[in-house]
């Protein structure tokens, strides 16, 4: 997995070096599609109360731009994480002095937050075999769960109708990842699709903890039982 990560890092360091802090710098065609993805992913968050957020694969921090535009009143403690040091350097330069925002280089969330988002982070597999890529994605989803108190949201590209092989990209039907999040991560999952892009978004929440059943011989049970 180390070599795979190194290839991904090199790829995105190349895009930001070529195009700067712009949608093309993080491999998106334009800001409209980038923002449309944020609209879907942020549906996992409850904006009525302040919250903390891990933006995993944050690029140059375009999500902060979007939050300022669409949720100016929201109190969000933002942490952007990216595997590419060049990407994080661009993000820090862009957001110098921004309150309640920090950027770190990494390939795990590294710190707990209420929510996490990952937009576009699983899309470019650079010719790695799909099974290797899926193992890698499973690792990242497990980390997103481990570091999210409430829930997290991710997106994936849908397969093309003509099924033409694209070695560079990873596409998947939603069922593959819905099953993983429900069965392996024991989370509840909401699927969003049909929002104008050939992709889908999953809103994934931890299940509320159920109280442990009372032990028959416990002191409380003994106090209450009739003599």
Ligand X SMILES: C[S@@+](CC[C@H](N)C(=O)[O-])C[C@H]1O[C@@H](n2cnc3c(N)ncnc32)[C@H](O)[C@@H]1O
Q: Which residues contact 123 (CB under 8 A, 6 or more apart)?
A: 27, 156, 157, 169, 170
Question: b/e string for 164-173 if b means 16 or more Cβ within 10 A?
Answer: eeeeeebbbe
Contact indicator for 77, 100 with CB cutoff of 8 Å: yes
Does 151 interact with ligand X (rule: CB under 6 A)?
no
Nearer to ligand X, 119 or 201 (CB): 119
CB of 12 to ligand X, least distance (A): 3
8 lines the binding site for ligand X (CB under 6 A) = yes
Count CB atoms within 10 A of the CB of residue 6.
11
Q: Which of 53, 79, 120, 151 binds ligand X (CB under 6 A)?
A: 120
Instruction: Please say which residue, 45 or 83, places its beta carbon nearer to ligand X.
Output: 83
Asked if 153 touches ligand X (CB under 6 A), the answer is no
Residue 40 found at the interface with ligand X (CB under 6 A): no
Q: What residues numbered 100-119 form the site for ligand X, per CB under 6 A?
A: 107, 119
41 interacts with ligand X by CB under 6 A: no
> Is 26 or 67 the residue whose CB approaches ligand X more closely?
26
Cβ neighbours of residue 136 closer than 8 Å, sequence gap 6 or more: 1, 4, 128
Q: How many other C-beta atoms are found inside a 10 Å radius of the C-beta of residue 57?
A: 23
Residue 26 lies near ligand X (rule: CB under 6 A): yes
Based on the shown chain and the rule CB under 6 A, indicate whether residue 137 belongs to the binding site for ligand X: no
Task: Confirm or reject binding of residue 88 to ligand X (CB under 6 A).
Answer: no
Pick 110 or 188: Cβ nearer ligand X: 110
- From 54, 79, 82, 133, residue interacting with ligand X (rule: CB under 6 A): 82
Distance between CA atoms of residues 145 and 43, nearest Å? 17
Q: Are the CB atoms for 184 and 138 separated by under 8 Å? A: yes
Instruction: Candidates 58-66, 174-182, 196-204, 210-218: pick the segment binding ligand X (CB under 6 A).
Output: 58-66
What is the token pair recorded at 210? 């159920």
**139: number of CA atoms within 13 Å, CB side?**
12
User: Which spans of this chain sit near ligand X (rule: CB under 6 A)?
Assistant: 5, 8, 12, 26-27, 34, 57-59, 62, 81-84, 87, 107, 119-121, 140
């Amino acid at each position: 997995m180390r070599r795979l990560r190194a290839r991904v890092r090199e790829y995105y360091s190349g895009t930001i070096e070529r195009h700067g802090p712009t949608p093309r710098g993080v491999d998106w065609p334009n800001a409209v599609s980038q923002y449309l993805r944020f609209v879907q992913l942020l549906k996992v968050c409850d904006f009525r109360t302040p919250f903390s957020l891990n933006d995993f694969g944050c690029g140059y921090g375009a999500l902060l731009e979007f939050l300022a535009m669409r949720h100016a009143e929201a109190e969000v403690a933002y942490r952007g994480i990216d595997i590419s040091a060049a990407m994080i350097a661009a993000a820090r330069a862009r957001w110098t002095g921004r309150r309640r925002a920090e950027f770190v280089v990494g390939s795990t969330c590294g710190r707990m937050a209420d929510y996490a988002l990952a937009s576009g982070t699983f899309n470019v597999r650079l010719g790695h075999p799909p099974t290797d890529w899926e193992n890698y994605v499973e690792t990242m989803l497990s980390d997103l769960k481990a570091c999210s108190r409430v829930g997290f949201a991710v997106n994936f590209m849908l397969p093309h109708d003509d099924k033409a092989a694209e070695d560079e990209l990873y596409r998947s039907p939603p069922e593959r990842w819905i099953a993983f999040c429900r069965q392996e991560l024991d989370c509840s999952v909401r699927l969003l699709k049909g929002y104008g892009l050939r992709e889908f978004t999953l809103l994934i929440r931890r299940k509320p903890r159920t109280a442990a059943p009372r032990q028959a011989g416990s002191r409380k049970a003994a106090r209450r039982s009739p003599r």
